[in-house]
Structure 1
Amino acid sequence: MDFLRPDTLAEAVALKAERPAAVPIAGGTDVMVELNFDHRRPDALLDLTRIAELREWSVADGVVRIGAGVPYTRIITELGDRLPGLAMASRTVGSPQIRNRGTVGGNLGAASPAGDTHPVLLTSDAVVEVVSARGRRLIPATGFYLGVKRSALEPDELIAAVHLPETGAPQQFAKVGTRNAMVIAVCSFAVALHPGQGLVRAAVGSSAPTPRRAAEAEEFLSGELTATDQWESPRPLLDSVKRRFGELAARAASPIDDVRGSAAYRRHALAVLARRTLGWAWQDYTGKVA
């Protein structure tokens, strides 16, 4: 196995063009597990840790650009006030050691349905920036995930960054696992309120071949809040509204039975997570008990 160590993004892109099968590695929290268990044996690894550009983040016109090599720990400590949902999801990833190494770029590259940041990226209308010798292109998160561990990346492309609008509006994320910490999600859920647009965003994770938006739940709650004038004059949500939101969120899933949980359990847990996260987000928005 060859080990390729470019110093710049331009060098990395050139190497990826020459050797499209080379597997990128940054934090290594997914790739090294696959190598250790002999689930993957590539001809080459493309080490991205020397590339300074990938470890930077910036803000322009209200949009945060996070380099693919920025670790979860920095997202939590440096971007928690701008991207509350992403920081929340980042806190649930592995152990402190994993959060020091793992990155959103790596989460996207793995494209696992259970990736913790994926539902938040979907509810934030995130855009993935990819680069190749042919140039750069932007892929909406809603079109990035194609199947189990399959993404819209072309063989010669690398993930350079992810773009998310900064927000002070409420966002929430929660997941269920087989234990309290350092666990792969049995299922996960994210919700984001967009009061300025009168919209709700919701997404499920680890409960379908890809992370996906819960469109019916979004449309129901957006319509309910608009029809009852609660964006302008918020008041506690009816239990019936939260229950219906949970039911519709669970309907967005197409789960399977596996060693971590049954399909029936995932649907039940998603409905519960949706109700709870909506309650927390609405409480943040109203300042009252929702």
Structure 2
Amino acid sequence: MEFLRPATWQEAVAAKAEHPSAVPIAGGTDVMVEINFDHRRPEHLLDLGRIPELSEFDTDSGSGTVRLGASVPYSRIMEHLRTQAPGLALASHTVASPQIRNRGGVGGNLGTASPAGDAHPALLAGGAEVEAVSVRGTRLIPIDDFYVGVKRNALAPDELIRAVRLKTATGPQQFSKVGTRNAMVIAVCAFGIALHPEVRQVRTGIGSAAPTPIRARAAEEFLAAALEEAGLWESRAALPPAVARQFATLVSGAANPIDDVRGTASYRRHALGVMARRTLDWTWREYRGAERTESCA
């Protein structure tokens, strides 16, 4: 195994072009596990740890976006982006241990593209874009198009993930995860939701309950229409229980889970319904509270 260690982003992109099969490594929290268990033996490892721009983030209030370097650790997302990307910050809290949260970043989750990755539901709900770069140039891949199969993503062989772009949150976001214990655990299933009141839209993300991370599109469309028809975006009145129940049913129905050592397909569908109902309740309570805060200001 040859170890490539570029010092600049330009060198990294050139190395990837020369060795398209090279496996990028930054935090190493996914790749090194596979190597240590001899599940993977790449010919080249491409170490991105010396490239400082991958560990930087920018919150541009003018454009209303957060640009998150691929190697920004989860601990920094938790500390600095709770307002701008609350769903992702909440998901970051659930990632493994403090040691791994200090090393791992969103770029690794995206590169691995495991359906159980903790960042995926929040990225789907937030409407993220992935900044993919090669010697041929830069392209932005919508998160909805990024996951193409089990542990497969839309990157070309010569592309590297430089950053993730997220619109700054304009409404409440939530994340929930079920595991076999409270910490250091792979998700049995996970769910993220984000309200986007400026465009009257609801987005969701489901993890570990289908071959790829997915959205519950029918549930999103139902809830957005129900909020619109009842004038709830403006009034911020209490959400009818029947709406919450139907939303949960549609989320559960969107999943395509399997039975495995962590849980059955039936349990995953049930858990998703419970998480959908709870996170919707939390987000709607927060949305209503924001109205009361604005009225008192």
* Structure 1 residue identity aligned to 2:228: T
SS at match of 1:196: helix
Counterpart in 2 of 1:160?
A: 162
For residues 3-22 of structure 1, the aligned pairs below 5 Å read: 3-22=3-22
CA deviation after TM superposition for structure 1 residue 59, in Å: 2.5
SS at match of 2:133: strand
Q: Which runs of 5+ in 2 are unaligned?
A: 291-297
CA deviation after TM superposition for structure 1 residue 81, in Å: 1.4
Counterpart in 1 of 2:97?
A: 95
* Structure 1 residue identity aligned to 2:169: T
Contact 2:175 2:191 in 1 (8 A): yes
* Structure 1 residue identity aligned to 2:3: F
Counterpart in 2 of 1:59?
A: 59
SS at match of 1:101: coil
* Structure 2 residue identity aligned to 1:69: S
Counterpart in 1 of 2:82?
A: 80
CA deviation after TM superposition for structure 1 residue 287, in Å: 1.9
Contact 1:81 1:168 in 2 (8 A): no
What is the CA–CA distance in structure 1 between the aligned matches of 2:197 and 2:44, rounded to whole Å? 47
CA deviation after TM superposition for structure 1 residue 167, in Å: 1.5
Are residues 1:226 and 2:228 paired?
yes
What is the CA–CA distance in structure 2 between the aligned matches of 1:97 and 1:8, rounded to whole Å? 26
For residues 138-287 of structure 1, the aligned pairs below 5 Å read: 138-287=140-289
Deviation digits for residues 47-74 of structure 1 (CA, Å, limit 9, x no counterpart): 0000011111113311111011111011
What is the CA–CA distance in structure 1 between the aligned matches of 2:88 and 2:116, rounded to whole Å? 15
What is the CA–CA distance in structure 1 between the aligned matches of 2:197 and 2:21, rounded to whole Å? 44
SS at match of 2:27: coil
Deviation digits for residues 21-76 of structure 1 (CA, Å, limit 9, x no counterpart): 11100000000100010000011110000001111111331111101111101111
Q: Which runs of 5+ in 1 are unaligned?
A: none
Deviation digits for residues 82-122 of structure 1 (CA, Å, limit 9, x no counterpart): 11011000110000000000000011000000011101111
Identity %: 64
CA deviation after TM superposition for structure 1 residue 195, in Å: 1.1
What is the CA–CA distance in structure 2 between the aligned matches of 1:130 and 1:21, rounded to whole Å? 16
Normalising by structure 1, report the TM-score. Answer: 0.98
Runs of 4+ in 1 over 6 A off after TM superposition: none
Contact 2:170 2:197 in 1 (8 A): no
Normalising by structure 2, report the TM-score. Answer: 0.96
SS at match of 2:162: strand
Counterpart in 1 of 2:295?
A: none
What is the CA–CA distance in structure 2 between the aligned matches of 1:203 and 1:58, rounded to whole Å? 24
Count of matched residue pairs: 288
Q: Which moved more, 1:238-247 or 1:274-283?
A: 238-247
